[in-house]
Amino acid sequence: MTSKENIVNFARTILSFSMKKRKVAGIFILTFIPLHLVASSPQVDKEGYYNRGLIELEEGNFEEALQIWLEAKSNLEDSDFRISQTFIQLATKEKLEDYYTAASEIYYWGLSGKIVDSEKEALQNELTLLRPLLERKRFRNLEDRIENSDSGALKEIANYWNSLDPTPLTDYNERLIEHWQRINYARNHFVKANGEEFDDRADIYIKYGKPYYSKEGQLNYIPSFVTRILKEGIRPPSFGSAEQLAITSTQRMNLENRVRQYHEYNRYEVWIYRDLNEELQNTVFMFGTRNGTSSFRRIRSVDDFIPSGAYRSYLQHNYSFSGQGSGGGTGSGDSESNERSRQSVQFNNTSASQNSQVTLTPAIILQLMYYQQFAALDAYFGNAYDQMMDRFINVSNSFGTSFKGLAREFDTMHGTKLVAIQSRAPNEKTTLFENLIEMPAEYYTYRFLNEQSEPYSKVFTQITLDEAAYYDILRKTNSLQTQLADRYRLIGGYEIRDESGETLKSESIQRPVKSFQSIENRFNIPYEEGIEEILLSHELHSSDSLGVEKVASESPFPASLKGINNTRLDLGEPLPTEGLQLSDLIMGYSYQEDKDNEISRDSIDFTIAHKKVIPQGSDLSFYYELYNLLPKGTDEISEYSFEYSITKEKRGLFGRREDALLSIAINNTVIGDSDKNVIIIDTSNQEPGEYLLNISISDLNSDSTFTKTQPFSIE
């Protein structure tokens, strides 16, 4: 046995250690503690598993460490967030994709217990990594609750991640994995000079991922641009001669030197994101170094690169200025005035009747030069540069105007505009769906009451699969002749969540795909108390027979996932529970020759027409349920009349009218206070057009009545 192995074995038997993880850089500080000092602790099992994994981690045995922590999840009575956090960090950092599902599950396990002192540091670090995604008020609240050992904070963090899960029907949260992938990338690329803290770029990267376009570089001083602005940017006014208003080349050189002195060769990065706001306007973020530091910080606007001293102007009579070359002008002659002329140049009207000044500061020149360097990157910069240059030329050529305060005005205007653009971006956004087909879906809801007179909705989902499936087949086989049998399956379901994001109820079903035509699922979704949102989700998966190629490089999605649809559903108001009530009508059609229908559920054995369009030559069919009849006698027999009629809507020169086509009344006797039935009406001989189905119901044991009119069409 080697000396190294002896040391490791000795450490395993004699020592344990705790690990303090630096906030950002992913550096581990190991503090060795004799095992006898922790042997009496009630958390010895937790510490044992945690520290055994750390030893394997320190030895570079990453998978062995993960296996130890998975064993801890199975065997420990109480969760340990330190294990959860270290597990998901290690799995994503080392790109151990086979452990991603386990990493997601163990993360939630770590949030399922109570806050204990040994886990507070890990939880505070976790909250620091979550900070870019959270509103400031929510972050502060969670921070205080963790400090005060309020275990409800753990549940809130878990619910937050549930709300971002792109595949809510499974225990695997791909968005959580993506978050940690971004953290690990930021640790390698976006840290301050001390190597221990994130810089401002990391916050934006963790929120939104890789930008659509980015550019990095150094702000350059462009002498020719400065000279052009000074020589050609200002035209001589109509008063006086060019010689009277000229500035000497020496004086121009003094101003150029002052501009050069205020210019700093700062480095910058510009990140441009697409589709972060509803207006589809690009979102621009700027970062840069300042004052000789190498750490990048977020820049409010290009003007932040300009030192405050460059904005100073001195209001006294000195040199006159013209855009027509050198010669002529004279100064005040005193040394103080000559020095101040290096800070600013005044353009004086020497007319006897009027005396005005036009004050030019280094800041204006720097602003124009910097925005010109960014103008081609995005419309924000290009428009800003054009507006500034137009304003600059207009002021310089207008009698009685001044540059005073113009640089500050530019600074405020464009800084405010950039902040407004950035404020329209969400708190976070995933890029997982960029390489995954989103399947079109339609949803139809019908209100009913269950046997306990509790409201619910029958929800029918129609998912179109062809684009996602054909794309996958072509990518794998380069042919559309592939047989579908057992190659795809559709998983569909729903989640009902409360205001905190906690799941109140969920259901999912899985079915094989027989055709790429639209496939229909049905769910009975209750109106739960405290319901905040209902999320309907569908996933198209391929079997292993089509291979395991991923949808995109390093994507956390499972290899089998080929298409997805997530929709937030609004059920509307529930069906009232009091008085005589009729459910929503489920309408459709059938033909005389129809026998068995593929779908047979709740007595609906006809083809449903959710859009209320009936093919010409078919019979109108509809399903209904009736509630709150008044039974009579010991047998609790209810009686009601059901009358329906069909009228055709016609539009003419004198408005609309309705022509009655048929009217039928039926008396029904049922046991109990409710009934359900299917009515089939012969409409096979009706012409295309717009129709009304009119229904009138009377409870024969009471005075209760109910009427309803349902439009439909025949095409």
pLDDT for the residue numbered 652 = 56
Q: How far apart are CA 550 and CA 329, in angstroms?
A: 73
Break the chain into its structural domains and give their ranges: 3-190, 213-423, 433-572, 578-715
Contact 338, 251 (CB under 8 A): no
Q: CB–CB of 360/314 below 8 Å?
A: no
pLDDT at 311: 85
Tokens of 671: 């046991």
Query: What's the predicted TM-score (pTM) here?
Result: 0.81
CATH second-level architecture of 578-715? Sandwich (2.60)
Task: List average pLDDT for each run of 10 residues in the chain, which is 715 residues long.
Answer: 40 34 38 41 74 96 96 94 97 94 96 94 96 96 96 95 93 95 95 84 97 95 88 52 53 81 93 88 93 84 90 48 38 42 44 46 91 94 93 76 80 92 94 88 96 95 88 73 72 92 90 83 91 93 60 75 92 93 96 56 81 95 94 85 88 60 88 92 91 94 93 95
User: What DSSP state is assigned to residue 99?
Assistant: G
Q: What is the pLDDT of residue 248?
A: 54
CB 288 within 8 A of CB 263: no
Residue 664 CB-half CA count within 13 A: 9
- Sign of the dihedral defined by the CA atoms of residues 588, 592, 598, 601, in that order: positive
Exposed e or buried b for every residue in 489-513, given b needs 16+ CB within 10 A?
ebbbbbbbbeeebbeeeeebeeeeb
Q: Which residue type occupies 303?
A: D
Handedness of CA 522, 527, 528, 532 (dihedral sign): positive
- Name the nearest CA neighbour of 154 among 211, 116, 193, 200: 116
CB neighbour list of residue 89: distance below 8 Å, 6 or more residues apart: 26, 180, 183, 184
433-572 and 578-715 have identical folds: yes
Mind giving me the DSSP string for 196-255?
A: SSB-HHHHHHHHH-S-SEEEEEEPPP-HHHHHHHHHHSS---SSS-TTTT---HHHHHHH
pLDDT of residue 283: 96
pLDDT for 397: 74
pLDDT of residue 560: 86
Tokens of 597: 């229908």
Topology given in CATH for the domain delimited by 433-572? Immunoglobulin-like (2.60.40)
How many CB atoms within 10 Å of residue 548? 9
Tokens read off for 30 = 């190991």
CA distance 522 to 460: 5
Q: What is the pLDDT of residue 251?
A: 64
pLDDT in the model for residue 470: 82
Q: Measured between alpha carbons, how far is 417 from 410 in angstroms, rounded to an integer?
A: 11
